[in-house]
Amino acid sequence: MTNIENNDSGHKTRGRKLAQAVKESKAPAISRAAAILRLLGRSDAPLGVQTIARELDLVPSTALNVLRALVTEQFVNMDPDTKRYSLDAGVLTLARQWLGRDQFTSLAQPVLDRISHTHDVTMLGVQISGLENIIVVSCSEAGSNFQLRAEVGSRFPVFVSATGRCIAAFSDCSGVDLKAQFDKLRWDEPPAYEEWLQQIEETKKQGFAVDAGNYISGVTVVAVPVWNSRGQLSNALVALGIGSALLRSGLAELQQALTEEARKLSSRLGG
Amino acid sequence: MTNIENNDSGHKTRGRKLAQAVKESKAPAISRAAAILRLLGRSDAPLGVQTIARELDLVPSTALNVLRALVTEQFVNMDPDTKRYSLDAGVLTLARQWLGRDQFTSLAQPVLDRISHTHDVTMLGVQISGLENIIVVSCSEAGSNFQLRAEVGSRFPVFVSATGRCIAAFSDCSGVDLKAQFDKLRWDEPPAYEEWLQQIEETKKQGFAVDAGNYISGVTVVAVPVWNSRGQLSNALVALGIGSALLRSGLAELQQALTEEARKLSSRLGG
DNA sequence: GAAAACTATTTTATATATTGAACAGCCGGA
DNA sequence: TCCGGCTGTTCAATATATAAAATAGTTTTC
C-alpha cells in the first residue's frame, strides 16, 4: 500500500519559519502554540519541555508557559509523572464541529463513495483555503485492489500534482511567483517548467487537471475544481489510481463523471 | 432520535471564566484563541470581529489580532468579502494525528462495535483527562432501533451520569468539593446528594456504575473504568440504552461483558 | 440622499508576556 | 558518595502585546 504523505522537509527550516511568523504577528503566542501542537501531532511519543523548545527554537520557559496554557485549554495533555506532553482530545471537539458544519464534506462524501466504487479509484475531497496548503477533508477508498491511501487532515503544497494545476489554472495567482513556487515542489518525476505551464493551459481549456505519474510515479491523479457560492475555487474532487489500471478501466469516463459531479456540487454549495 | 449534548449554560459565564483564565495564565493569547475557536465551533454561521469580541468580552482590536494569527495558522478561515470568520480545516489535521496515535481509540473501536451489536446498545469510548471534562472519543451505534446518539468530540461534566460516578469512585478526588460539583450538575431527574454518594460507594464495590434514568429520563447508562499503564483512570466504556429495552435484554450480561472488556483493554493499554 | 449606526481596522501609550539566568530536583557514572 | 549533566521550573528586567481612542469604510435608516 502506498501511503501518501506531505514530505515536509522540516528540520531547521521550521524554526526559522516560526521565527518569522512570530515577528510579523501581533499575537506570537498563538504561532508558538500552533507550532507546538503540530510538533506534538507529528511526534510518535510524548515530548518534554526541553525537547520541544529545542526543536522549535523556543526559550524553555516560554515553551512551558505556552504548554501550560494549552493544557488548561485541554488541547494538550501532560503526564504529571513523566512531565511529558502530548495532544489531548480537545482538538477532536473542534474538528468534529468543523466537520459537522462544513457543507462540502457532507455533500461530497456520498459522491466520493459512489465514484470510488464504480470506477475503482481512491477518491479524496480537498479544501483549498488561500494559497498555502490544500487539506484532505474527506476520503473514500476503493475496495477491490489494495492501494493508495491519504488520511483525512493531511496537507499538501498548493501547486503540486493535479490539484496544483487546477489551482494554478483557476485561482487568482496574480502576484505569485509561479516559477519560484514550482521550484520548491517535490515530485517523483518533475515535469519541466514549460511543460507544466502548458499543462495548466490545458487544464483551463478542459476544466480539469491530470497528473500522469509526475507526483507519484505510476499513479495517475485527476482533479476537478469545485466552486463555492461566490464563484471562488474552494474545493476539489481528486481521483487517485494506478496509472495502468486507470487507463484500462476508462480514464475518459472517470473524467466525465468527475466533472459532472463537481458541477453538481458547485451548484449545491451555493444554496 | 435523542441527541445527547453538553448543555453548557454559557452566556455571560463564559466571559468571566475566560477573564479568569486570562489573568492567571502567562500566555493569555492562547486562552483567548481557544475561546474564539470554541465559539466559532459552536456557531452555525461565520462570525464577524465585533460579534466575537462582544460575546467573549474581548477588545475588538485584540480579537482581530488573535483572529489574524489563527488565520495564518490555518485554524480559522476568513472570508475576504464578508470579513466573517469560521473554523478552518487545520483543526482536522491535529485531530487526525491524535486519533491515529491514541492507543485507546484504536483498541476500543472493535470492542465498541462488538458490544453495541450483540447487546443492541449505543456504545461510547470516553477519555477522562484531569477533572474538568470527559470527552467522547469513539462511538458505535446499534443498528436495530433508532435511538441515542452522541458525537465524537462532545464534552460532558466529569461527575454527571454513570461515568461521573466512576470518576468519583476511582479517581483521586481529594481536595475536590464533591457537594459543590454535584450542585452544578444538570440531570433530567437528579438524585439526592446522599443517594448519589451511596451510588458511588456501590460503584466502588462492584467495579462499574449505573445511571438508571437520572441523566436522561428513560435512558440507562452503564460505565466501566479503563486504566492506563500507570494504573490511573484514563478512559471508560459507556453503554447507553433505552431503560426498558435494556432491562429486557439482560442488563446483567451487558455489565459482565463490559467489565470483562474493560479489564482486557486496561491490560493491553499497558503494553 | 444624507446622516446615523454599524462595521473592520490602524495607532500609540502602557500594562505585561517574554526572556535568559539562576534554582532545584533527578539520574547515571565514576 | 560525590560529581556533572540532565531535567522542569521560578524570577526579575525589558522588549512587546494589549487596550482604548481615532480612523475609515459600509450598510441601514429616515
Q: Which residue has the cell 456504575?
A: B209
pLDDT of residue B201: 97
- Residue-level pLDDT at A11: 45
Mean per-residue pLDDT, A236-243: 94
Query: How far is it between the farthest Cα atoms of chain B?
Result: 61
pLDDT over 60 (residue B8): no
| pLDDT tens per residue, range B221-266 | 999 999 988 788 999 999 999 988 887 878 999 999 999 999 999 9
Non-local (6+) Cβ contacts of B234 within 8 A are B104, B127, B128, B129, B226, B227, B228, B269
Label residue A10 by pLDDT band (50, 70, 90).
Answer: very low
Give the tens place of pLDDT for each residue, B165-211: 999 999 988 888 999 999 999 999 999 999 999 999 999 999 999 99
User: What is the band of B5 on the pLDDT scale with cuts at 50, 70, 90?
Assistant: low
Confidence check: pLDDT of A94 > 70: yes
Q: State yes or no: pLDDT of B24 exceeds 80.
A: no
- What are all long-range contacts of B173-182, with beta carbons under 8 Å and residues at least 24 apart? B173/B131, B176/B131
Query: Hey, which residues 23-62 in chain B have their CB within 8 Å of chain A?
Result: 25-31, 33-34, 37-38, 41-42, 44
DSSP for residue A200:
H
* Residue pLDDT, tens place only, A55-88: 999 999 999 999 999 999 999 999 888 999 999 9
Contacting residues of A for B89, CB less than 8 Å apart: 98, 102, 127, 129, 135, 137, 153
Integer distance in angstroms from CA A165 to C1' D4?
A: 57
At residue A8's C-alpha, the angle toward residues A2 and A14, to 5°, is: 160
Q: How confident is the model at residue A118 (pLDDT cuts 50, 70, 90)?
A: very high
Query: For residue A144, what pLDDT band results from cuts at 50, 70 and 90?
Result: low
DSSP string, A216-258: STTEEEEEEEEE-TTS-EEEEEEEEEEHHHHHHT-HHHHHHHH
Sort residue B149 into left (φ over 0), alpha (ψ -120 to 50) or beta: beta
Point out the residue among A70, A129, A152 whose CB comes nearest to the CB of B30: A70
pLDDT of A9 higher than 50:
no
pLDDT in tens, A183-232: 999 999 999 999 999 999 999 999 999 999 999 999 999 999 999 887 88
Helices B28-42, A28-42: axis angle to 10 degrees equals: 70
User: Taking 50 as the threshold, does the pLDDT of residue A257 lie above it?
Assistant: yes
CB contact under 8 A, B89 and A129: yes
Among residues A132, A123, A99, which one has the least CA distance to residue A222? A123
Band the pLDDT of A24: cuts 50, 70, 90: confident
Is B11's pLDDT higher than 50? Answer: no
Residue in A with minimal Cα distance to B37: A94
Interface probe with A: pick from B32, B97, B131, most Cβ of A within 10 Å:
B97
Nucleotides of C under 7 A from a protein CB: 6-11, 16-21
Any strand D atom closer than 7 Å to B30 CB: no
A69, A91, A133: residue with CB nearest B30 = A69
pLDDT at A131: 84
A156 or B100, greater pLDDT? A156
Q: Which residue has the higher pLDDT, A136 or B172?
A: A136
C-alpha triplet A84, A90, A96: angle, nearest 5°? 140
Report yes or no: A75 and B135 within 8 Å, Cβ to Cβ: no
Point out the least confidently predicted range of A41-50, B26-35, B140-149.
B140-149
Rounded CA gap, A58 and B91, in Å? 23
Q: What residues of chain A, 144 to 163, have a C-beta less than 8 Å from chain B?
A: 151-155
Q: Write down the pLDDT at residue A154.
A: 92
The pLDDT of residue B18 = 66
C-alpha B103 chain-centroid distance: 18
pLDDT band at A146 (very low <50, low <70, confident <90, very high): low
Averaged confidence pLDDT in chain A:
89
Q: Is the pLDDT of residue A15 over 70?
A: no
pLDDT at B12 over 80: no
The CA–C1' separation of B102 and C25, in angstroms, is 31
A51 touches strand D (CB under 7 A): yes
Mean pLDDT (whole number) for A100-107: 91
What residues contact B22, with CB distance under 8 A and at least 6 apart?
B28, B31, B32
Residues B47-72 pLDDT 10s = 999 999 999 999 999 999 999 999 99
Nearest to B6 by CA among B125, B157, B139: B157
